[in-house]
Amino acid sequence: MFLELSAAIREEVVSILFHAQIEPEDAAALHEEPVAQARNGAGLSYAHESAAGAQAISAASGAAATGGNGGGSVTPIGGVGGAVATQQRVTSEHERLGRNDPCWCGSGKKFKKCHGA
């Protein structure tokens, strides 16, 4: 019974594939349209989500072009005291697994074959 069903499905699929008619489109017109849009910049939008964001970016770029804060003096990020900011290291609660260690999920596979892929 399963074999008959399988044969009937194959026959129907082959029949549909052989009777399908594909109408070719003008390939040159399809190729030219995206190229013309890319040259003209069509479909691209250069807008910020909010007007405040656009103003902040323009103000920052204007300040950078004039040389900073306009007064000519540069203040370090840490303040005037001269304290050097150190970068804190991000640590994890879990120890780092090697690629050949057993996976943390308990599947019994190596980490590289399970969650490390």
C-alpha R_g of the chain: 31
pTM of the predicted structure, to 2 decimals: 0.22
- CA nearest to 103, candidates 89, 113, 88, 93: 113
What DSSP character marks residue 110? B
Question: What's the pLDDT tens digit per position in 4-36?
Answer: 999 999 999 999 999 988 877 776 666 666 656
Domain ranges of the chain: 1-113
Question: What's the pLDDT tens digit per position in 33-69?
Answer: 665 666 666 566 666 566 666 677 777 766 665 555 5
pLDDT of amino acid 78: 54
d(CA 92, CA 103): 17
Residues comprising the chain, all counted: 117
Question: What's the pLDDT tens digit per position in 88-111?
Answer: 776 666 677 788 888 888 888 998
Geometric angle at alpha carbon 14, from 12 and 15, rounded to 5°: 65
